[in-house]
Amino acid sequence: MRKKRDVQAGKCYHYHLVSRVAHRAFFFDDDEKNRFVDLLMRVEFFSCVRVLAYCCMSNHIHVFIYLDDPRELSEEEGNGETATRMLALLASGERSRSELASELGISSQPWLSRVYLNPLMAQGYIAQTLPKKPKSPLQRYRLLRKGKDVLA
């Protein structure tokens, strides 16, 4: 297997990703290629990466992506752009954990809490509406002044 190569320009990272279909078979017809592109765009939105180029052929794909400084996407910092989208959602009103997960396209609520909610609360960007009952089914999250300042 070829060694991973990345091109660094300042603090940004570009990656060329390649994936081949098993046994060199030809599986991708036009409908499957369209579904792949749709899925790729949803993953791009969810993962906070930018797809700069892609090529989908009958038996393999190429994707060229741009990723901001990985340090900016750490769990401790609330995962960059997705955290900003969460703050923007909370700017329009309180939301439950399930509402946030649904609107951000995240299927795992425990992961949402660990990667986004807990770091943002620890840093003072958001707060629980029922802080004495963190596991309450009525628990909601609201934006604090520090979170509003980030969006300003």
69-88: pLDDT as tens digits? 544 434 444 456 778 888 88
pLDDT for the residue 78: 45
Residue with the bigger pLDDT between 68 and 83: it is 83
CA-closest candidate to residue 46, choices 10, 91, 81:
81
SS3 89: helix
Residue with the bigger pLDDT between 141 and 151: it is 141
Query: Does residue 31 have a pLDDT over 90?
Result: no
pLDDT for the residue 76: 45
Residue with the bigger pLDDT between 22 and 128: it is 128
Q: Summarize pLDDT for 102-119 with one digit per residue, the tens.
A: 888 888 888 888 888 988
Confidence of residue 47 (pLDDT cuts 50, 70, 90): low
User: How many angstroms separate the Cα of 70 from the Cα of each of 25, 46, 52, 81?
Assistant: 35, 15, 17, 12
Question: Residue 4 carries which DSSP code?
Answer: P
pLDDT for the residue 74: 44
- d(CA 82, CA 69) in angstroms, rounded, equals 14
Cβ-count burial 3-19 (b if 16+ within 10 Å, e if not): eeeeeeeeeebeeeeee
pLDDT for the residue 46: 63
pTM score, whole prediction: 0.51
